[in-house]
Amino acid sequence: MKHSNTTYVGMDVHKESITVSYISSSIDAEVIYLGPIGTRQCDIEKLIRRLQSKGTKLVFVYEAGPCGYVLHRYLTGKGFDCQVVAPSLIPRKSGDKVKTDRRDSSLLARLARSGDLTQVYVPAVEDEAIRDLCRAREDVMKDLKAGKLRLKSFLLRLGIQYTGKADWNAAHLRYLATVSCPTPAQKIVYQEYLRAVTDHMERLARLEEATKEMLPSWRLSPVVKAIQALRGVKEIVAVTTVAELGDITRFDTPRQLMAYLGLTPSEYSSGEKRRQGGITKTGNGHARKVIVEGS
């Protein structure tokens, strides 16, 4: 029996299982469903040995998701072609209302063969580590903002208001240290809210210090320094932007870069009418957020 040259393997990846389907590059070939397998390396090796008899070349495809790029790095380390694709850009029929793991894996295999999938950028391990550090800082900023709001809302319910010009400066912190609550229970609540804000501030300071310490040894450190020449772009904005973008040379034109950041204007034109709206806000929201703040 003569085998086709390429076998496309669609994988629907979950935390504890991977649902697998494959299809050969022959025009009249049908998708073959293999079923779920485990996520351990021995399970992946068993799958590879089983599929290598189907064709001389294996192309693995799975959607980007919460499981990250561990599977991609393992397969590419073995010398296989592995594509991580954008879930939001997968073509789907508008009338198809049935979604299962089997259908998803089969769809990935078919679209990989037809070339209708859009791959996402897979960062290097070192780049992803800096990106995780920047995203951890972003999470702390959200927690800090929520903690401050809870504290101010609690004091407002008690009729206690700060009359200074700015919040959370040295004068405001000294004022918070002198606040007295009417009852012992409310005093406990206030102390816990204040302690939460203080803890978040300390976490933020530690993460920013760690970022500054690791930045000089990062391979993209020169790029971080270079874009700080732009007005409004300081160290945190620069390192977050570069960490989210990764290798900027992967963008052929500035238009592609702006589209990735979601900074291009939206448009809905038909016939002679042309309608343009605000920015699309698609793509990488982490980088877009710091860029907007810097502007």
How many helices (H) and strands (E) the chain has is answered by: 10, 7
- Strand pairing of 265-267 and 276-279? antiparallel
pLDDT tens for each residue of the chain, 295 residues long: 444 589 999 999 999 999 999 999 888 889 999 999 999 999 999 999 999 887 679 999 999 999 999 999 999 999 999 999 999 999 998 888 899 999 999 999 999 999 999 999 999 999 999 999 999 999 999 999 999 999 999 999 999 999 888 889 999 999 999 999 999 999 999 999 999 999 999 999 999 999 999 999 999 999 999 999 999 899 999 999 999 999 999 999 999 999 999 988 888 888 888 888 888 888 899 999 998 888 8
The candidate with the shortest Cα–Cα distance to 43, out of 16, 12, 67, 69, is 16
CA 38, 41, 43, 46: dihedral to nearest 10 degrees?
160
Widest CA span of the chain, in angstroms?
Answer: 86
